[in-house]
Amino acid sequence: MWIELGIFILVLIFAIHQIRDVRKEQRKRAEREQAEKDEIK
């Protein structure tokens, strides 16, 4: 039981880390697209 719990916690931590990375990249892309729009104007 403890092994399964440990694996579950590790997977959960990994998933949270991945989600944070994806959100950070989405924010960077949105800022880059906004900067390109501002340059066009």
Tens of pLDDT, residue by residue over 31-40, are 999 988 888 7
What letter represents residue 40's amino acid?
I
Kindly report whether the global pTM for this prediction surpasses the value 0.85: no
Our count of domains for the chain comes to: 1
Longest dimension (CA), the chain: 60
Work out the percent of the chain whose per-residue pLDDT is above 70.
98
Q: Which of 13, 8, 15, 31 is nearest to 39 (CA)?
A: 31
DSSP state of 1: -
Tell me what pLDDT residue 39 has. Answer: 81
Query: Range of 23's domain?
Result: 1-41
Reduced to 3 DSSP states, what percent helix, strand and coil does the chain have, rounded to the nearest 5?
95, 0, 5
When the pLDDT of each residue in the chain is averaged and rounded to a whole number, the result is 93
Task: For residue 2, give both structure tokens.
Answer: 């403890």
